[in-house]
Structure 1
């Protein structure tokens, strides 16, 4: 088999460019359908433009709406991060909702620390402990 090194390099380059092209195409279509500010007709128009004339359609979309793509992605990432953090706080029992057994343990350990340091009296400690356990 006679396949020169330059041809191998060019083949690898073309495969890389095709992969890059499909990634760009999927990214554009994903942004078209995730954008809530774009109407149904706008989504249909951009989709037809990108299907009928894919290279021109994608490049025009990037020029016209490219900056907004990044902003929408950042908003989506922030919202996902906030939802994740809220879920973690809720699962850990520190979300401010109903007290959990873990929350009782934390409260009792804080009360014990205050009592050990002499910040509260024995009577105050017992009263606060009853209030936490009654919960």
Structure 2
């Protein structure tokens, strides 16, 4: 293979991968879009396979702003759900609540004074 054949091969591979990424983004946006009916989505899918590049460019021009908004909204919902899960698993007790729990354990005789002081120091740290 000559040098320019290799360069051309790299350019073609790049364009093909870029097209696949764009196609994936468009199809995922179609399914995420709740404003369009199923028939409209089906028509977009059919045209994506019949005239792929033209349809993809038209879709990006027509729905580009909506794609960005839907993507940002989905990312915000995902982050919110993740933050809620982390808070649920990690717990959100204040140091005073940890000390009160340790005091209840001390009063019930489950832990001794030294363990209570260690838990209190850990809560205040």
Q: TM class by shorter-chain length?
A: 0.7 to 0.9
Shift of 1:111: 9.5
Equivalence for 2:121: none
Equivalence for 1:124: none
Equivalence for 2:22: 24
SS of the residue aligned with 1:16?
helix
Distance verdict in 2 for CA 1:104–1:16, change over 3 Å = closer
Q: TM-score, length-normalised on structure 1?
A: 0.69
Write the deviation string for residues 49-98 of structure 1: whole angstroms up to 9, x where unpaired. Answer: 2122111111110010011101110000000000100111111122xxxx
Equivalence for 1:56: 54
Equivalence for 2:123: none
1:69 aligns with 2:67: yes
Distance verdict in 2 for CA 1:62–1:10, change over 3 Å = same
**Which one scores higher on RCO, CA 8 angstroms, separation ≥ 6?**
2
Shift of 1:106: 5.1
Equivalence for 2:91: 93
Equivalence for 1:109: 99
Distance verdict in 2 for CA 1:7–1:104, change over 3 Å = closer
SS of the residue aligned with 2:40?
helix
Consecutive unaligned residues in structure 1, runs of 5 or more:
95-102, 113-128
Displaced runs of 4 or more, over 2 A: 103-106, 108-112
Consecutive unaligned residues in structure 2, runs of 5 or more:
109-125
User: Radius of gyration: which is bigger?
Assistant: 1
Q: TM-score, length-normalised on structure 2?
A: 0.74
The answer to which of 73-82 and 17-26 deviates more is 17-26
Q: CA RMSD in A?
A: 2.6
Distance 2:23 2:98 in 1: 57
